[in-house]
Amino acid sequence: MSRKRSRLAHEEEMSSKLLEAGSGEVANGGSSLERSSQTSSDLTQSLRMAAPFSTDPEAVAERERISYGRIPRAVAISGTASRKVRVYSDGIYDMFHQGHARQLQQAKTVFPNVYLIVGVCSDQLTHSRKGRTVMTEDERYEAVRHCRYVDEVVRDAPWEYDEEFLEKHKIDFLAHDDIPYTTEDCEDTYAMIKAKDMFVATERTEGVSTSDIVARIVRDYDIYVRRNLARGYSAKELNVSFLNEKKFRLQNKMDELKDKGKKVMTNIGEKRVDILTKWEEKSRELIDAFLLLFGPDGRLSNIWNESKGRLMQALSQPPSPRSSPPPSENGDPPSPSPTHRGSASPPPPKSRRCDALWEQQAGNWMDRALTVLGNRKRPYNAS
C-alpha cells in the first residue's frame, strides 16, 4: 500500500512538472518567455497529432534546426539550456500498456524541457534477441507514436548503441530502467552510455508487463477462445479443432442458459411480494370451489343423494294387490278388519323391502356355494 502511495505521489510530481513546463514563467527575460511559449505550443500539438517518425519532414527539420553539442547534466537539470534536451528511450513496446506509458512519462519529465525520442525495435531483431511478439512492428510503431509524451519515433531501433547513432539523432541523454541488459558481447548494453554520464534511470511499474499479460491469456485460454467464437470468429481463425469448437460452443450455450436462469430468479425476487399475494388469492378461490363441489352441502353430495334415492326406488318391487277374504256362510260380505277401517294396508317401508330382497339373494348365493362344495367332495364313481 505504501509503494502504491509513493508511486502515485511520484506520478503527481511528474504531472506537475509537465504543467509547469507547459505554462512557463517569465523569470529570465525574453529567452525564457520564448521557451515557455514554444513548450506550450509543442504540448498542444502533441495532443492533436501523432508523433512523427524520425524520417518525416517535421522530425528532420527539428533535428537540423539545432546545433548539436551535448548538454551537461547540471545544465539540463537547471533548465537553463538554450534548446530542448533531447532524451532517447527505447524498447519493444509489445501490447503497449500502462507500464510503458509511465516509463515514457518519467523520461519526458526527467528534465524541465525535454524533446523525447523513442526507438522501437523491428520484428526481425526482436524475434532473434527476445522472442516472438503479439503485435507486429507496424502496430507497435503506431501505438508508441500516439502516446502523448512522445515527440519522435525511431523505427528499426538498434539493440546496442554507438557514437554514430547518438550523433545522427543528436541525443543528449538515454532513459531506461537501471537493470543491466546483457548480450553475447557485453554484460551491460548501457555501459558506454553510463560511462559518458548520459544515462538517466527510470522505474518499472510493479505487477505490469507484457509477459504477465501473455501469461494471463495463456492461463485463461479457453475463456478467450469461447469469447471470440461468440463474437463471430471462425475456428480456423482461432486455430481450434472441430471437436474443441463444438465443446466451446456448447459451453457458451450453457453459460447463456445460466445467465437467463439468474435473470429469471432476479426478476422473481423483485416481484415475489406480488406473486405471493396473487397466489394467496388464487388459493382461496380454489378452496372455495373445492368446498362448493365436495363439501357436505356441495353439489356432489346432492347428486349422490338423489342418485341413491332413485337407485333404491328402482331396486324395490311394487306391492302386490291384497286378495279379498272369502264371503261368510250366510252370504254376507266380510266385515272390515278393525286395523284397516275400509282402506288398503300401506306397503312396507322401502328399506325393509330392500333388506328382504338382499337376504333372499344372499340365501341363493349360499345354496349355490354349498352345491359346488358338495360336488367337489363327492367320491369318484368308477362305474
Digit-by-digit pLDDT tens for the chain (383 residues) are 444 455 555 555 655 555 454 444 334 444 444 555 555 566 556 667 899 999 999 999 999 999 888 999 999 999 999 999 999 999 999 999 999 999 999 999 999 999 999 999 999 999 998 899 999 999 999 999 999 999 999 999 999 889 999 999 999 999 999 887 777 777 788 888 999 999 999 998 888 889 899 898 889 888 888 888 888 888 888 888 888 878 878 887 887 787 777 777 777 766 666 777 777 777 777 777 776 666 666 666 677 677 767 777 776 666 666 555 555 555 555 555 544 444 455 555 555 555 666 666 666 666 666 565 555 445 544 44
Q: Contact 318/357 with Cβ under 8 angstroms?
A: no
Smallest Cα–Cα separation from 159: which of 193, 135, 183? 183
What Å distances lie between residue 215 and 40, 65, 209, CA to CA?
A: 41, 46, 10
Report helix, strand or coil for 87. Answer: strand
What Å distances lie between residue 170 and 64, 207, 258, CA to CA?
A: 10, 34, 62
Q: Contact 23/33 with Cβ under 8 angstroms?
A: no
pTM of the model: 0.57
Task: Give the whole-angstrom CA distance, residue 375 versus residue 212.
Answer: 102
